[in-house]
Each structure stands twice: as structure tokens, then as C-alpha cells.
């Protein structure tokens, strides 16, 4: 297994075991649907997104939080527009 494959498995696990059921479903489904499309740089952006607290990320996703708390990137934009 390559380092990239290991990283993808780690990202999938982290996105589906967040701490809140809502984020497990939202972020987990987003990652599982799109993980094969991401470049190395986008995987790094996704790792950064996973570092954000569930409460902040969930409020941002639903437009109830300051955008400055979530770094804008192609990945965060894709996630914000994601419909499971």
C-alpha cells in the first residue's frame, strides 16, 4: 500500500469518526464520494479541514458562523456545496 493510499484511509476514518453524528454523516459522505478525485494538495487541504472543531464546521456549513474560522479552499468550497 502506498503512502497516498494510507493517507486516504486515514482521512476516511477521521471524517467518519468525528465526535458528532451530524459531522460523521456530512463530512464522511463527502469524503467517501470524492476522495478519489483529490490531488495531493487537496488532500492536505482536506486534512486541514478535519482539524476544525465539529461545532465550528457544522455552523459554517449551515451558514451560521463566520467564514474566517474555516479557511477558504477548493475543498472547503466543495464541502459547503455538497449535497449527500
User: Among candidates 24, 58, 31, which has minimal Cα distance to 45?
Assistant: 31
Q: What is the pLDDT of residue 56?
A: 93
Give the per-residue pLDDT at 84.
61
- Residue pair 81/73 in contact by the 8 Å Cβ criterion: no
Look up the pTM and report it: 0.91
Report the alpha-carbon distance of residue 47 to residue 45 in Å, rounded. 5
d(CA 36, CA 3): 14
Boundaries of every domain in the chain: 3-81
Question: What pLDDT, on the 0 to 100 scale, is given for residue 83?
Answer: 81
Q: CATH number for the 3-81 domain, one of 3.40.80.10, 3.40.50.880, 1.10.150.250, 1.10.3720.10?
A: 1.10.150.250
Q: Tell me: the pLDDT tens digits for 55-74?
A: 999 999 998 876 688 989 99
Helix (H) or strand (E) holding 64: none
Residue 49 predicted with pLDDT over 80 = yes
Closest to 25 (Cα-Cα) out of 52, 47, 54: 54
Of residues 83 and 80, more confidently modeled? 80
Amino acid at each position: 500500500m502506498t503512502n497516498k493510499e494510507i493517507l486516504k484511509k486515514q482521512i476516511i476514518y477521521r471524517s467518519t469518526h468525528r465526535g458528532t453524528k451530524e459531522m460523521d454523516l456530512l463530512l464522511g459522505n463527502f469524503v467517501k464520494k470524492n476522495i478519489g478525485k483529490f490531488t495531493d494538495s487537496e488532500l492536505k487541504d482536506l486534512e486541514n479541514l478535519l482539524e476544525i472543531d465539529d461545532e465550528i464546521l457544522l455552523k459554517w456549513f449551515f451558514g451560521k458562523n463566520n467564514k474566517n474560522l474555516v479557511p477558504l479552499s477548493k475543498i472547503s468550497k466543495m464541502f459547503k456545496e455538497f449535497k449527500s
